[in-house]
Chain A
């Protein structure tokens, strides 16, 4: 089956720093979504991004489907950005999640 790898697995930042999270997938996919799981366990859909670039405030995402990767950019990070970021790809008949990047932002 398709493999979804995220890097880095852990990231520690000071408030105000920028970061880039990467999602690599091993096969062609129909779409890709980014999610944020906050420290309370809630999963929030950040982007539905099968290809191209999207921006939402301090967050932006780029998917290059032909090269099988997606990037999530977080600018001017805040403590509320802490949590785990997952990418998920649709392959065959289901949405498969990566293992996540755990982000900690300190004041």
Chain B
């Protein structure tokens, strides 16, 4: 058990809908990262927060947004969903920044858009 908790485990929704994915980092970790894993794109970095502030941004679509709350949990919001958004979404956490801390991943949320 990595100590990173993601909910829900599975999510099935229709095109055009909006969903929220939740992540609780390991105790003491200040950084939270979101990654998307799809069959044809591999593991793609979306966004990172450190102690409540956005620190790095990857290939995150404008339809997606995220935030990290004062208790350090994070939420990833996906809106106007398309079939191509179906993927495994991972949250990871680390004590410090990605350049000097190992990342620990949650078990992911599998999103299916129908």
Contact A45 B103 (CB under 8 A): yes
State which of A33, A35, A45, A100 has its C-beta within 8 Å of the C-beta of B42.
A100
Which residues of A lie under 8 Å from residue B43 when comparing CB positions? Answer: 86, 88, 97
Selected contact of A99 from candidates B42, B88, B99, B110, CB within 8 Å: B42
**Which residues of A, 73-107, contact B by the 8 Å Cβ criterion?**
86, 88, 90, 93-97, 99-100
Contact B99 A31 (CB under 8 A): yes
- Tell me the total A-B contact number using a CB cutoff of 8 A: 53
Q: Are A90 and B107 in contact (CB under 8 A)?
A: no
Q: Assuming A94-B56, A95-B103, is B33 touching A41 (CB within 8 A)?
A: no
Given contact pairs A42-B105, A86-B43, A94 touches B58 in the complex (Cβ within 8 A): yes
Q: How many angstroms from the CA of A9 to the CA of B33 in the assembled complex?
A: 26
| A45, A94, A99: most-surrounded residue (chain B CB, <10 A) | A94
Q: Which of A43-87 contact B (CB under 8 A)?
A: 43-45, 48, 86
B interface size (C-beta, 8 A): 24
Contact A33 B103 (CB under 8 A): yes
Q: List, sorted by A's number, 8 A–B pairs whose CB atoms are closer than 8 Å.
A: A30-B99, A42-B107, A45-B2, A45-B105, A88-B103, A94-B45, A94-B56, A97-B42
**Which A residues form the contact surface with B (CB < 8 A)?**
30-31, 33, 35, 41-45, 48, 86, 88, 90, 93-97, 99-100
Interface residues of B (CB under 8 A from A): 2, 33, 35, 42-43, 45, 48, 55-56, 58, 88, 90, 92, 98-105, 107-108, 110
